[in-house]
Amino acid sequence: VRAARSFTLGELARALGAELAGDPSRVVRGVAPLEEAGPDDVSFLTNARYRSLAEKTRAAAVVAPADTTGLSTGVLRVASASTALVSLLELFFPTPPVVPGCHPTAVVAGEARVDSTAAVGPFAVVEGGAVVGARSRIGALAFIGAETVLGEDVVIHPRAVVGTHIVIGHRVIIHPGAVIGTDGFGFVFDGQAHRKIPQVGTVRIEDDVEIGANTAVARATMGETVIRRGTKIDNLVQVAHNCHVGEHVILAGQTGIAGSCRIGDFAMLGGQVGVTDHTTIAPGTLLWAQSGVGGDIPTGGPWGGTPARPAAETRRIWAASARLPELLRRMRALERRVAELESRRAG
């Protein structure tokens, strides 16, 4: 993917608030990792581990921490190279402006209110009573259900589904295939069959949330499933009915949260984590990938394993498990030795 424009190092220094060591008139046309960058690229040193690559890079300049010295390339010194990298990519690859208007093939109900600065793509469906805020984009083949409200600067990617009566905040991004507001999975067994509990609640997604491809967020049975501001959810994740996911939470790919869980702010759940229903996870908890959480996690910090335990404990158990076959052998040897001692004593 080609960058939208080129910059001089001087322009970049100003835009990033960086201190430039190097030729401010030198032109760069792209961004690339240290080992792949060419003389037309600017690169970045976001991890001290890669210092040696920075010494060998062909890049015109490197965005690097403020205390970086000794590089033969230009250096753009910044307080945080990681956040500067975000800005750098935004400069070279700006989001194209919204081209307002509804594609002629879109089906937008008369009673829907689509802001005049918003865009609706081909074959998108916006049902009655839905509201689409300023500068929001509804991708091709997407579905926005009746009475659903989208904030401003929302991006609904092609083929996402947002059901009826959902509330979506500002700057929310929903990727292709995600389904927001599918029915919660709730049944009552009446002795003969599972009877469906009507799922009459809704979903509320706050500002700055991102939801990955083919992820499913179920509506509440009654009340609401909530995803609070700043939370980022990866692909193929399941968030079940009546969950409350806190602020700035990370849910990595294929993680599943069963019904009525509470996930504390700033928690980070690795990939393929499972959390049983009605579980509370403390703010700031870090769950290893594939953890299985079967009960509340009362304090933050790293946890892991199935059943999930504080990570240090799980690490000890896993290490000891590897020695289990040896332990069995040692046990047998010891039993023989004790029997020998006992028989001599008896003898």
CA dist., res. 165 & res. 199, Å (int):
12
Whichever of 116 and 324 has its CB closer to a copy of itself, that residue is 324
Residue 25 CB, shortest distance to a copy of itself, in Å, is 25
Whichever of 159 and 170 has its CB closer to a copy of itself, that residue is 159
Return the residues of window 49-108 that contact a copy of itself according to CB under 8 A: 80, 82-83, 85-86, 89-90, 92-93, 103, 105, 107
Tell which one of 70, 188, 343, 347 touches a copy of itself (CB under 8 A): 188
Site mask for a copy of itself (CB under 8 A), range 300-319, x = bound: ------xx-x---x--xxxx
Which residue is listed with tokens 């009655």?
A: 128
Residues contacting 196, CB < 8 A, separation 6+:
186, 187
Phi then psi dihedrals of residue 311, to 5 deg: -60, -35
Whichever of 20 and 162 has its CB closer to a copy of itself, that residue is 162
- The answer, yes or no, to whether the previous bond of 96 is cis (omega within 30 of 0) is no
Q: Interface with a copy of itself includes 123 (CB under 8 A)?
A: yes
Beta strands 155-156; 173-174: pairing state: parallel
Tell which one of 26, 135, 157, 170 touches a copy of itself (CB under 8 A): 157
Region from 5-13, 21-29, 55-63, 171-179 binding a copy of itself, contact rule CB under 8 A: 171-179
CA dihedral for 150, 266, 201, 177, sign (positive or negative): positive
Residues contacting 151, CB < 8 A, separation 6+:
133, 136, 168, 169, 170, 171, 172, 207
Q: Interface with a copy of itself includes 190 (CB under 8 A)?
A: yes
Site mask for a copy of itself (CB under 8 A), range 19-48, x = bound: ------------xxx--x------------
Region from 59-67, 129-137, 279-287, 328-336 binding a copy of itself, contact rule CB under 8 A: 328-336
CA dist., res. 277 & res. 196, Å (int):
18
Region from 16-24, 51-59, 63-71, 138-146 binding a copy of itself, contact rule CB under 8 A: 138-146
Whichever of 25 and 345 has its CB closer to a copy of itself, that residue is 345
CA distances from 204 to 135, 153, 168, 231, 245 (A): 20, 17, 6, 13, 11
Tell which one of 49, 69, 324, 347 touches a copy of itself (CB under 8 A): 324
Residue 158 CB, shortest distance to a copy of itself, in Å, is 5
Element (H, E) at 149: strand 149-150
Tell which one of 15, 53, 98, 141 touches a copy of itself (CB under 8 A): 141
Return the residues of window 264-293 that contact a copy of itself according to CB under 8 A: 270-272, 274, 276, 289-290, 292
CA atoms within 13 A on the CB side of 10: 4
CA dist., res. 13 & res. 199, Å (int):
54
Q: How many residues bind a copy of itself (CB under 8 A)?
A: 112
Angle at 218 between CA 213 and CA 220, to 5 degrees: 155
Whichever of 152 and 183 has its CB closer to a copy of itself, that residue is 183
Q: Which member of 241, 244, 248, 278 is catalytic? A: 241
| Alpha helices for 214-323 (secondary structure H) | 311-322
Return the residues of window 194-233 that contact a copy of itself according to CB under 8 A: 194-198, 200-202, 208, 210, 212-216, 218, 222-223, 230, 232
Angle of helix 9-16 relative to helix 81-92, nearest 10 degrees, comes to 120
Token digits of residue 245: 């996911």
Whether 165 sits among the annotated catalytic residues: the reply is no
Q: Which residues are designated catalytic?
A: 241
